Structure formats: structure tokens, C-alpha cells
Structure 1
Amino acid sequence: MSALTKAKGFKKSKSGTYLSMATTAFGAVSVVKQIKKARLENDTLRLIDATVSAAAIVTGLAILYRELKRLGDDDVLLG
């Protein structure tokens, strides 16, 4: 099995999904900083950009959560 095949398999695993969720959530830290800075400077355009970024993070986490639930439903030991 090649390294690329293993990497693709990891991405579809529960561990890979948890890692993706953690990485995505870590991106929220920079968005929060961006929002605080935009508010401090009264920069409406940066605030809009940060808000859109935050929405993308929330959507990404929701998709990853759905994938995690789907992976859990496929577990033969559970049902």
C-alpha cells in the first residue's frame, strides 16, 4: 500500500476527521483576533471578511461533524 493510499484512507477515518475538526477549529482563533482588531479599528470591510470566514468555519465544522456521525453509523460493532 502506497503512502498516498494510506493518507487518503486516514482522511476518511474517524481519527482523520477529528484532526480535520481540530485544525478547522484552530483557524477560529485567528478569526476571533481578526474580528477584535476590526472592531477596534472600526474597519467594516475587515469585519465583514472575518464574519464570512467565521461562517465558513462553522459550516466546515458542521460538515465534518456530519461525516463523523456517518462514520459512526457505519461501525459494525455498534449495530
Structure 2
Amino acid sequence: MSALTKAKGFKKSKTGTYLSIGTTAFGAVGVLKQAKKARSEQDTLRLIDAAISAAAIVTGVALLVRELKRIGDDDVLFG
């Protein structure tokens, strides 16, 4: 089994999904900093950008949680 095949399998595993949720949530820290800075500078355009980025993060985490539930349903031990 090649390293690339293993990496693709990891991405669809429970551990890989948890890691993806963590990295996506970590991205939220940057968005929060961007929003705070935009508010302090009264920069409406940056504030809108931060809001859209936050919506993308929420959507991404929701998709990952759905994938995690799907993986859990397919798991023989938990079925």
C-alpha cells in the first residue's frame, strides 16, 4: 500500500475527521482576530469578510460532523 493510499484512507477515517474538525476550528481563531481588528478599526469590508469566513467555518464543521456520524453508522462495533 502506497503512502498516498494510506493518506487518502486516513482522511476518511474517524481520526482524520476529528483532525479535520480541529484544524477547521483552529481557523476560527484567525477569523475571530480578524473580526476584532476590523471592529476596532471600524472597517466594514473586513468585518463582512470575517462574517463570511465564519459562516464557511461553521458549514465546514457541520459537514465534518455529518461525515463523522456517517462513519459511526457504518462501524460494525457501534451498529
The two structures share one fold, judged by TM-score above 0.5? yes
Offset of residue 37 of structure 1: 0.3
Which residue number in structure 1 is paired with residue 15 of structure 2?
15
CA deviation after TM superposition for structure 1 residue 78, in Å: 1.6
Q: CA RMSD in A?
A: 0.4
Where do 1:48-59 residues align within 5 Å?
A: 48-59=48-59
List, as ranges, runs of 4+ consecutive aligned residues in structure 1 with deviation greater than 3 Å: none
Amino acid at match of 1:76: V
TM-score normalized by the length of structure 2: 0.99
Q: What is the deviation of 1:11?
A: 0.2
Q: Could you list the runs of 5+ residues in structure 1 that have no partner in the other structure?
A: none
Counterparts of 1:27-42 in structure 2, within 5 Å, are 27-42=27-42
Identical aligned pairs, as a percentage?
A: 81
Q: Which residue of 1 aligns with 2:44?
A: 44
Q: CA deviation at 1:20?
A: 0.3
Describe the superposition over 1:8-28 as per-residue Cα deviations: whole angstroms up to 9, x where unpaired: 000000000000000000000
